[in-house]
Amino acid sequence: MLALLQTEARQRGLPSCVLTFEPHPRDYFAAVTKKPDLAPARIGTLRDKLSELAACGVAQTIVLPFDARLASQSPEEFIQNVLIDGLGARYVLVGDDFRFGAKRAGDYAMLDAAGDAHGFDVARMNSYEVHGLRVSSSAVREALAEGRMADAHTLLGRPYTISGHVVHGRKLGRALGASAPGKDDGFRTLNLRFKHWKPAASGIFAVLVHGLSEEPLPGVANLGVRPSLDANDVNAGRVLLETHCLEWPSHLGAEGAYGKIVRVELLHKLHDELRYTSLEALTAGIAKDGRDARAFFASTHAETHRQTTRDRI
């Protein structure tokens, strides 16, 4: 869809532009009706969305605040206020299930008729399938919720990633691992904390961390709310991506990662979040997750080596 948008933009001599909403409309209505279960699991943060669109060559991304005013806007008002007066749209590309305006009353036919009346072209992108699966946000959410990271990769066309600033935590990981054999640094972690975000994926994952060294660093990560810690935890029930690099970059020292923006690829789900009954059990669980992540990367490296050998033959 973005490739088609870019082609049309080049042919028309216009900048490509993507229009999106924040928060997600369903997030807004979940908050208004006080029904948090209605909020959708989010595939990515706004930062990740903007980064991916820029990487795909989109010249402009417009983020409209989805609020009471926008939610009550009729389809006709949306076309006039946003597309015509706001953007000066000359070409509008939408998906085959696109709906817009209050109560989702607007559809493709209405948009197409408005284009004829106001002098802008309208096109609709048909569904796209990969291995018999219709590519959609729902299909991606389902794959992530079930821990099918390879399927999510296929649907997204890239590994599933989350990025953010590294923030301070309780530094509990260092204390937990300090008593383990050979763990002089403990289980030092990179903490990415998110406010008002319900991720589509959760659990323990083998990951690659970008942004700390020239090469991505293998690690193991917990994405969730840390159920083993008490209610006074600094995380306070918010979603946290807590990543332990299997080999910590020596040039960073003990405090060198704080404030940096890192990108974490979730490659393989090891298991769901677990509630441990003691710090000893938690320490043992973290150590096992590290071993399992190392085993995953070792098997991946071996498979890559076998594939390379076959290609040479």
Closest CA relative to residue 156, chosen from 171, 173, 139, 168: 139
Paired tokens of 194? 């998110």
Q: How far apart are CA 111 and CA 14, in angstroms?
A: 20
- Given pLDDT bands bounded at 50, 70 and 90, which one contains residue 168? confident
CA atoms within 13 A on the CB side of 277: 0
| Residues 54-94 pLDDT 10s | 999 999 999 999 999 999 999 999 999 999 999 999 999 99
Across 197-206, 245-254, 268-277, least confident range: 245-254
| Residues 8-54 pLDDT 10s | 999 999 999 999 999 999 999 999 999 988 999 999 889 999 999 99
- Given pLDDT bands bounded at 50, 70 and 90, which one contains residue 232? low
Has residue 231 got a pLDDT over 70?
Answer: no
Residue where the block lists tokens 């990560």: 221
CB-based burial, 27-63: b 16+ in 10 Å, e otherwise:
bbebeeeeeeeebebbbbbeebbbbbbeeeebeeeee
Q: Is 137 exposed, middle or buried (0-12, 13-18, 19+ CB in 10 A)?
A: middle
| Residues 300-313 pLDDT 10s | 866 554 444 344 44
- Asked whether the bond before 23 is cis by omega within 30 degrees of 0, the reply is yes
- Whole-number pLDDT of residue 90: 98
The CATH homologous superfamily to which domain 2-128 belongs is HUPs (3.40.50.620)
Closest CA relative to residue 143, chosen from 227, 223, 200: 200
pLDDT mean across residues, the chain? 87
CA quadruple 53, 54, 55, 57: dihedral, nearest 10: 90
In this prediction, residues 123-143 reach a mean pLDDT of: 90
The domains of the chain are located at: 2-128, 129-158, 159-312
Fold of 159-312: Elongation Factor Tu (Ef-tu); domain 3 (2.40.30)
Angle separating helix axes 149-156 and 137-145, nearest 10 degrees: 160
> Which amino acid makes up residue 96?
D
pTM over 0.85: no
